[in-house]
């Protein structure tokens, strides 16, 4: 007998895992119009980016203008829902609160009427019918409830791959041998080792000395033990200890699933031992000495939940490899892109003091991530997104970072929703060019970037309009807003030369002509306008992510809208005799703005008047779409 009360839910898509992949996955599917249940085993969303762990959400642009970012040449930062989350945090979370980030993710999910969110709930089993999952079993112990969830498609975004493993889907663990996939960075022999986990801390500086007494079980470190690991950011005039330490890594030589509790215990001993070293110095340091200028610093927070890098990786219809990543192999079924380095860490982590805490092998260009790497080979309606996608250990070292997981999540959620609407199984999608085109065009419409793919949406009436502007700059003509591109990727470390187009896909008004500036679309005959979508410039060449490190955050435009973004604008329609104001927007900070009109409006001209930006001296619009 069980005290768990049983509830039966029905939906189109069940997404298990509410981390950096699961949240965009569920939101994307819900916005496509299907019913989604998102199950998350923690009280908050965000996974490694949540307030429980507090890792940076990084991605293909690496560190922006310091790595893969050049204004109006290389804009590698992720778009779509990942960019939406970053912009919401930058404006609504100027204090850089981890809990505010939790709230923003929670708010985004609650805003979707097609999305049912179950927090503190874990998928513990599945029911199979042949080669397909028909139901998932999810338990919420805090309320003594059990949910039997019937769905058409099941997407595993749990990181550890619990739901897929319950379904018997094949998966990989550890490191493949060099010869298995012809990977030069793989070890000569296969092993069970993996990237370890980390726990970070936050400290605060006070106006007086603050003591720290380590528990008896904390580890002890010498200067030699940590000689390859930095406590502060190089170049800091005054050592700063407010955020650290990603390199406090452990567990890669152990089973990061079955031994996670004991890994947590040892990581606490490591983390507090490092802080003891920072505060009090190595063993033998004289009383009152302050070797790391940390006398006035005190712990404010530290995690009790390991930030896990690696566990299971599913076997999909394609296994992404080091060679795919470094050669930027083109995939016809691309649903996302990556660009983070092949970031390999010694499995022993902190217990490998003679090895650098990571070795980052540069990825020359942005690369495709195919849908085939996100579809099970044996379970017909199982998909996956996040760090458990089908990739070798070496390729995973690039795809695992959270912003990349996020765009993969949006791609998978979109693909799953469209498959349901067209009554197709996920397993059949990758062999259907028509379906792939529909998925990719929807992703482009939702401001995702896909290498070498342009807007070819036949329903977009803006592509049929004549485009004029009150003024324009050389290199930023008005016609660019309907040319199908939404970012520059032709600069250094952008896309491979044979897949790039040297253009600046945005209208830029002439700064010599002061604002307001206007952009006008005119059709040969009146249209019935139902929807206008605008994509604004948000400085995708620049790094932007929630960080609790003061120096890191200071390099970003944080606590405010991005300076390139249009702030105030008006939409006006011309029905044949007069201009009529359709709507006015003030205080915009978003990149993608969608405006719906009900009932539809009969107009022949559409005018966008930009009266102010969030910083720069001219108007910029990347794309305009119009639907009837």
**Per-residue 3-state assignment (H helix, E strand, C coil) for 10-70:** ECCEEEECCCCCHHHHHHHHHHCCCCEEEECCCCCCCHHHCCCCCCCCCCCCCCHHHCCEE
Domain with CATH 2.60.120.260 in the chain: 461-627
Percent of the chain with pLDDT over 70: 98
**What is the average pLDDT value for the chain, to the nearest integer?**
96
Q: Do residues 195 and 350 lie in contact, with contact meaning Cβ atoms separated by under 8 Å? A: no
Residue 235 reports pLDDT greater than 50: no
Q: What value does the mean pLDDT take over residues 160-178?
A: 98
Q: Is the pLDDT of residue 31 over 70?
A: yes
Tokens representing 339 are 């660009």
pLDDT for res 233: 52
Name residues whose C-beta falls within 8 Å of residue 375's C-beta, 6 or more positions apart in sequence.
316, 317, 382, 383, 426, 427, 429, 430
Half-sphere exposure of 241 (CA within 13 A, CB side): 21
Mean of pLDDT values over 158-171: 98
Residue 544 C-beta-side C-alpha neighbours within 13 Å:
29
Residue 64 has pLDDT above 70, yes or no: no
pTM flag (> 0.95)? yes
Q: Helix and strand tally (H, E) in the chain? A: 12, 29
Q: What are phi and psi of 251, to 5 degrees?
A: 105, -5
End-to-end Cα distance, the chain? 57
CB 362 within 8 A of CB 406: no
Integer Cα distance of 12 and 98 in angstroms:
32
512-552 pLDDT per residue, tens? 999 999 999 999 999 999 999 999 999 999 999 999 999 88
Q: Does pLDDT of 406 surpass 80?
A: yes
CATH architecture of 461-627: Sandwich (2.60)
Mean pLDDT within 23-45: 98
Helix/strand/coil for 506: coil
DSSP character at residue 350: G
Q: Please state, in angstroms and as integers, the Cα–Cα distance from residue 453 to each residue in 238, 331, 368, 500, following that order.
A: 47, 11, 11, 10
Bridge partners for 581 per DSSP: 572
- CA gap 330, 321 in Å, rounded: 13
Question: What average pLDDT score do residues 370-379 get?
Answer: 98
pLDDT bracket for residue 234 (50, 70, 90): very low
Q: Which residue has the tokens 């005190």?
A: 298
Question: Shortest CA distance to 375 belongs to which of 321, 322, 411?
Answer: 411
Cis upstream peptide for 599 (omega within 30°)? yes
- Delimiting residues of CATH 3.50.50.60 domain(s) in the chain: 5-175+315-445
Indicate whether 614 pLDDT > 80.
yes
Q: Can you tell me the distance from the alpha carbon of 272 to that of 252, in angstroms, rounded to the nearest whole number?
A: 19
**Residue 591 and residue 538 in contact, taking contact as beta carbons nearer than 8 Å:** yes
Domain 5-175+315-445 fold: FAD/NAD(P)-binding domain (3.50.50)
User: Is the peptide bond prior to 74 cis by the omega test (within 30 degrees of 0)?
Assistant: no
Distance CA 397, CA 186 (A): 11
User: Which of 148-152, 234-238, 443-447 has the least mean pLDDT?
Assistant: 234-238
Kindly tell me if the per-residue pLDDT of 237 is higher than 60: no
């Amino acid at each position: 007998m069980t005290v768990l009360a049983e509830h039966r839910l029905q939906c189109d898509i069940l997404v298990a895992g509410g981390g950096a992949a699961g949240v965009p996955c569920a939101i994307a599917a819900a916005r496509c119009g299907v019913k989604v249940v998102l199950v998350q085993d923690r009280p908050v969303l965000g996974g490694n980016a949540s307030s429980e762990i507090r890792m940076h959400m990084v991605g293909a642009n690496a560190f922006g203008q310091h790595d893969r970012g050049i204004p109006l040449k290389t804009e590698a930062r992720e778009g779509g829902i990942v960019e939406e989350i970053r912009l919401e945090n930058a404006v609504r979370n100027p204090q850089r609160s981890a809990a505010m980030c939790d709230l923003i993710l929670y708010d985004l999910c609650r805003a979707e009427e097609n999305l049912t969110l179950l927090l503190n709930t874990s998928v513990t089993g599945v029911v199979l019918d042949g080669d397909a999952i028909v139901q998932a079993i999810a338990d919420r112990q805090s309320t003594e409830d059990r949910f039997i969830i019937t769905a058409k498609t099941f997407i595993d975004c749990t990181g550890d791959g619990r739901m897929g493993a319950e379904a018997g889907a094949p998966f990989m663990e550890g490191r493949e041998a060099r010869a298995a996939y012809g990977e030069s960075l793989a070890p000569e022999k296969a092993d069970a080792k993996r990237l370890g986990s980390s726990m970070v801390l936050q400290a605060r500086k006070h106006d007086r000395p603050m003591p720290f007494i380590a528990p008896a079980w904390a580890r002890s470190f010498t200067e030699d033990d940590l000689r390859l690991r930095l406590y502060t950011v190089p170049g800091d005039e005054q050592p700063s200890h407010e955020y650290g330490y990603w390199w406090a890594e452990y567990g890669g030589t152990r089973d990061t699933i079955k031994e996670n509790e004991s890994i947590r215990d040892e990581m606490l001993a490591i983390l507090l031992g490092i802080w003891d070293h920072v505060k009090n110095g190595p063993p033998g340091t004289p009383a009152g000495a302050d070797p790391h200028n940390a006398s006035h610093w005190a712990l404010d927070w530290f995690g009790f939940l390991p930030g896990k890098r690696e566990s299971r990786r599913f076997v999909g219809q394609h296994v992404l490899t080091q060679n795919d990543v470094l050669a930027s192999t083109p995939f016809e079924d691309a649903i996302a892109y990556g660009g983070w380095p092949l970031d390999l860490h010694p499995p022993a982590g902190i217990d490998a003091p003679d090895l650098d805490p990571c070795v980052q092998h540069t990825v020359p260009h942005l690369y495709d991530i195919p849908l085939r790497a996100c579809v099970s080979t044996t379970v017909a309606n199982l998909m996956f997104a996040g760090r458990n996608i089908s990739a070798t250990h070496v390729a995973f070292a690039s795809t695992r970072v959270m912003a990349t997981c996020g765009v993969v999540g949006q791609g998978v959620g979109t693909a799953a929703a469209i498959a349901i609407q067209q009554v197709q199984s996920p397993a059949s999608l990758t062999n259907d060019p028509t379906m792939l085109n529909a998925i990719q065009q929807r992703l482009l419409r939702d401001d995702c970037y896909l290498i070498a793919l342009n807007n070819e949406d036949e329903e977009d009436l803006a592509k049929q309009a004549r485009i004029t502007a009150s003024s324009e700059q050389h290199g930023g003509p008005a016609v660019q807003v309907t040319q199908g591109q939404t970012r520059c990727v032709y600069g250094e470390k952008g896309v491979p030369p044979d897949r790039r187009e040297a253009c600046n896909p945005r209208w830029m008004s002439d700064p010599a002509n002061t604002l307001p500036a206007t952009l006008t679309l005119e059709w040969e005959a009146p249209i019935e306008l139902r929807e206008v979508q605008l994509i604004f410039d948000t400085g995708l060449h620049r790094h932007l992510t929630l960080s609790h490190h003061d120096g890191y955050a200071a390099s970003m435009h944080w606590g405010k809208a991005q300076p390139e973004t249009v702030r105030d604008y008006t939409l006006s329609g011309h029905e044949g005799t007069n201009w009529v104001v359709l709507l006015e927007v003030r205080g915009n900070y978003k990149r993608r703005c969608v405006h719906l009109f009900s009932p539809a409006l009969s107009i022949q001209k559409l005018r966008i008047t930009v009266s102010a930006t969030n910083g720069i001296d001219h108007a910029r619009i990347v794309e305009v779409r119009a639907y009837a």
